[in-house]
Structure 1
Amino acid sequence: MKRPSRKIALHLTPLLDLLLIVIFAQYMEVRQQETSTLQAAEAAAESREEAVTRLANLQEMHELASGELARAQQQAVELSMRNAQLREEAMRTEQALEQVRAQQRVVGELLTELYAIPQEDVERILDPTREPPIADSPEAQERLRQRFREMAEQDSGRMIMHLLSYEEIRKRCDVWKLHIDENNVATLDTGSRTFRFRVVPEQFEDHVFGLYKSLPQPKGLVIILYTYDRDTRVSITETIGQALQDLVGRMREDSGNRTRFEYADLGIRPE
């Protein structure tokens, strides 16, 4: 006896709805993942650009630092070389200074010895009977004697200062030396030139004035130191002394008073 067949009826609509829901959920998940991936990619790209920018900045800073380091190293080398040169120059300067000090000591000692004039020579120079006398009174003679003693007793440092002071004075004025010897031959030393000529009293002023005109422009002050030998005739020495008084005024006027001319009669020159 056959069994009766059973019919199974499937309702597909709910399954289809479920399938669509699953597919849509997966689709949404994929879209969300794509969005997250895109955002992550954009963030990664931005990070990469920032990293590239920072790397470029770091490379530029590195190059600048390398340049600064190279310059600093070069400066250090130059400074080291300069310091070596300065040390060498300082050593040479110190050696030169020591040589100058030694020379000054020697010069000072020699000057002190040179100014240690024997007393008999001092008395002869200060002889009141000489014409013209060096000192006009006993008080002036005593001051000169004291000055000689001081110069003889000075140490080398003070003698050097005395010499330097004299040289500074010479820089600001000209000192001419006029000497008449026993044969009536005059020697005029202007520092730059020396003239020798026989003295003719009537022509002396014009002759020396002509020599003055041949010289360069003198300094603002010219001092003529006049000396003569012991055996020079008095008539000659007095005539020349008078001529010098007129000569200095003539030269001053000729210079337009730009130069002052003076003379000093020092008398007999010590032998």
Structure 2
Amino acid sequence: MRFQLTPLLDLLLIVVFAQFLEGKQADQARDERAEAQIEAKLEELDADRVELTELRETLNERNARLEEERNRAVELARSAVRTAQDMEAATNRSADLLTELLDVPEAIASQLTPEPRSDAEQDLESARQRIAQLRDQKGFEVLRFLAGYEELLKRAEIWTLHVRGGGFVALSTGSNVELIRLEADGQRERAEEFVRKLFAATKILPQPKGLVVILVSFDRTARAGVYQPVLDGLGEAVRRLEVDQGGRTQYEFAVLGAAPEPAATQGTPDSAAGPGDAAEPPAEGGTLKEPPAAPSVPSQEPNP
């Protein structure tokens, strides 16, 4: 039997060529898929690179802002330190100035003696001792004392009651000035009149704070018949004011003795008094004699 090899060889070549083409197509498809995956990865990398670039720019801007804020904070801190140093220097200068102002020469202090009719010898000596204490303290302690006084005024009021040489009694509450004229004949009657008129004068005032301190003084030319009833009636006047306030306000008073009229009442002349206070005071003599001794002052223990 004779075999024909040529057709078989041709068939074999055709099969091999077909497998070659199939393999080549498979390789080409695989390469295309790989290229597509690479392109996708490259696109992802490009997107990540863009995102990283934007993030880097954002971080750079944030770092720049933080650096600017830090520099500004450092500058503010330095400015605050300089301001604090300037304030401390100014405070020290003010404190030293206060200490110098309180350094009263002995020659001048020895001239600060009360009038013969004044009972303020003890108060004057206490004031001298207090000035000496403040003078010996450091300047900032003086400022601390003044700051405490200002803080006290937020919760308390200081009224001034001054008996003028012409016979009028001027009461200053800080915002108002009231004039009182005593017209009764007897010493006791005048004290009672003072209590009534002082009470009436305070009724038109706004609600006072929790503590009222009344500083009482009288002119050196004032007659005892005018200022002595005021001193005699102070205790009863304070008691009546406290009762009227129902315990909401505590009243204290301190008698300074003969002294110049305080600035709080100087701006109100005697002519500003009402018609009921315009009468002339009683003449000298009778129950309004001028006593040679110092006036008696009702004692009042300060409440704790």
Q: 1:225 aligns with which of 192, 201, 215?
A: 215
Partner of 1:26, secondary structure, is helix
Identity over aligned residues, as a percent?
A: 26
Give matches, 1:1-271, under 5 Å: 13-81=4-72, 83-84=74-75, 87-88=78-79, 90-113=81-104, 118-119=109-110, 121=112, 124-125=113-114, 132=119, 134-135=121-122, 147=130, 149-200=132-183, 201=190, 203-269=193-259
Q: Cα distance 1:87–1:115, how it changes in 2: closer, same or farther (>3 A)?
A: farther
Letter in 1 for 2:227: T
Following superposition, the deviation at residue 146 of structure 1 comes to 5.1
* Paired amino acid for 2:209: K
The residue type equivalent to 1:251 in the other structure is: L
User: Could you say which structure has the greater relative contact order, defined with CA pairs below 8 angstroms and 6 or more residues apart?
Assistant: 2
Q: CA deviation at 1:237?
A: 2.8
- The TM-score with structure 1 as length reference comes to 0.75
**Residues 45-85 of structure 1, C-alpha deviations (whole Å, 9 max, x = no match):** 12211221232132123223323322432443354445445
Decide which structure has the larger Cα Rg and report it. 1
CA, structure 1 residues 141+45, in 2 after alignment: closer, same or farther (shift >3 Å)? Answer: closer
Question: Post-superposition shift, 1:153?
Answer: 4.0
Alpha-carbon distance change, 194 to 105 in structure 1, aligned in 2, over 3 angstroms:
farther
The alignment covers a number of residue pairs equal to 253
* Distance in 2 separating the partners of 1:234 and 1:181: 11
**2:194 counterpart letter in structure 1:** F
Structure 2 distance, partners of 1:105, 1:269, is 29
Q: Distance in 2 between matches of 1:194 and 1:131?
A: 25
5+ long unaligned stretches in structure 2? 184-189, 262-304
Task: State the Cα deviation string for residues 191-221 of structure 1 (Å, max 9, x = none).
Answer: 2333444444354333322332232222100
Query: Secondary structure, in 3 states, of the residue corresponding to 1:258?
Result: coil
Quickly say closer, same or farther: Cα 1:114–1:43, change in 2 above 3 A. Answer: farther
**Gaps in structure 1 of 5+ consecutive residues:** 1-10
Which string of whole-angstrom CA distances, capped at 9 and with x for unpartnered residues, describes residues 2-31 of structure 1?
Answer: xxxxxxxxx772122122112211221221
Give the superposition deviation at 1:134. Answer: 5.0
Q: How has the CA–CA distance of structure 1 residues 192 and 44 changed in structure 2, closer, same or farther, with 3 Å as cutoff?
A: same
TM-score, normalised to structure 2, is 0.68
Distance 1:165 1:250 in 2: 30
CA–CA distance in structure 1, aligned partners of residues 205 and 239 of structure 2: 17
Deviations 1:206-246 (A, max 9, x none): 33223322322221000111122344333333311232222
